[in-house]
Chains A and B, each alone.
Chain A
Amino acid sequence: MKAGLPLWEVFIRAKNGLSHRHVGSVHAADPRMAVQAARDVYTRRMEGVSLWVVPSASITASDPGEADALFVPAEDKVYRHPTFYVVPDNIKHI
């Protein structure tokens, strides 16, 4: 869309019980049009049952320059992963 229209981030819930996941973005003048644009661009192949749109400007991102401080310390702490539990076969999406 023309430069100047706000950007919206699009989240889709693939099916009931799952959480909304980020899939991309659209340009639109307001929330209602953003939902329509998201529907037309991202749900053409039955990708979802629910949509969220969020103004991209509302998102505060972490600073890539701080990535070392923020994320690297977790690398050698495997004991934080719940890998020592046995998950029953019929429990999905964990």
Chain B
Amino acid sequence: MPDDLTTRFGDDALILGHRLSEWCGHAPALEVDLALANIGLDLLGQAQFFLGLAAEAEAKGRDADALAYRRTEDEFRNCLLVEQPNGDFARTIARQFLFSSWQELLFHGLAQGDDKRIAAIAAKAVKEVTYHARFAADWVIRLGDGTAESHRRMEEGLDWCWRFTGELFAGDAASLRPEWDARVNGVLAEAGLPPPNPVRGITGGRDGRHSEHLGHLLAEMQYLPRVYPDAVW
């Protein structure tokens, strides 16, 4: 069981990428539909790189596809935030904003890190993630500072996601928190949104203890490779 950082990073990207793919054909507008699919594909690309490294590190003859499609729920190491259901558009934006803002800071650090291969992936991905964070922040501001209805939904979306943010800063990642707080608070202030209510955080994703939602997601994502093993495109 590969239980290292590359698995976490790969699983975060894979699961959120799949969540975003669920919007395909359902987003509020064609422009947004394409934007969410683009972000999902960027994340899928990151997942491929990171899981490729994870598979190589465990040296059991598996590849990135095997890790993505042949592992069970309790073998995934993604954070709980990314597996949460899409909800309405505002909740999807809240999840993206909180996650991408964190991922951008994380990858900036990784790109300077000692591990050359992780640094190379992070350096490439940080350009994508910078756009994701900006896209999501802009929508937080538009929705928060929009109509009474959009403001209410944006606030609810952030409140819903907030309990899963503590998990992002476990261990070494704690050092990212001050800058993340500053960025998030800055955007919320511009959006005219109150800081989310403090809640007791929920963790466990990094140890393979997931919410009930991940199993359903995997059932859909893994269906084809499990029913038709080694099918080729």
Contacts and interface: CB of A to CB of B under 8 A. Distances in A.
B28 A26 contact: no
B29 interface: yes
A36 interface: yes
A1 B35 contact: no
Contacts of B142: 29, 33
Interface residues of B, number: 12
A32 B142 CA distance: 11
Interface in B164-181: none
Nearest to B31: A37
Contacts of B30: 1, 41
B138 interface: yes
A17 to B, nearest CB: 24
A25 B142 CA distance: 21
Q: Is the interface of B mostly helix, strand, loop or mixed?
A: helix
B38 interface: yes
Given A33-B138, A36-B135, A36-B138, A1 B34 contact: no
A37 B34 CA distance: 9
Contacts, number: 30
Contacts of B29: 1-2, 27
B218 interface: no
Given A40-B38, A44-B38, A1 B32 contact: yes
A12 interface: no
A67 B227 CA distance: 62
Nearest to B135: A36
Given A27-B29, A40-B34, A41-B34, 11 more contacts: A1-B28, A1-B29, A1-B30, A1-B31, A26-B31, A27-B31, A29-B142, A32-B138, A36-B134, A36-B135, A44-B34
Interface of B: 28-32, 34-35, 38, 134-135, 138, 142
Interface of A: 1-2, 26-29, 32-33, 36-37, 40-41, 44
24 contacts: A1-B28, A1-B29, A1-B30, A1-B32, A2-B28, A2-B29, A26-B31, A27-B29, A27-B31, A28-B31, A29-B142, A32-B138, A33-B138, A33-B142, A36-B35, A36-B134, A36-B135, A37-B35, A40-B31, A40-B34, A40-B35, A40-B38, A41-B34, A44-B34
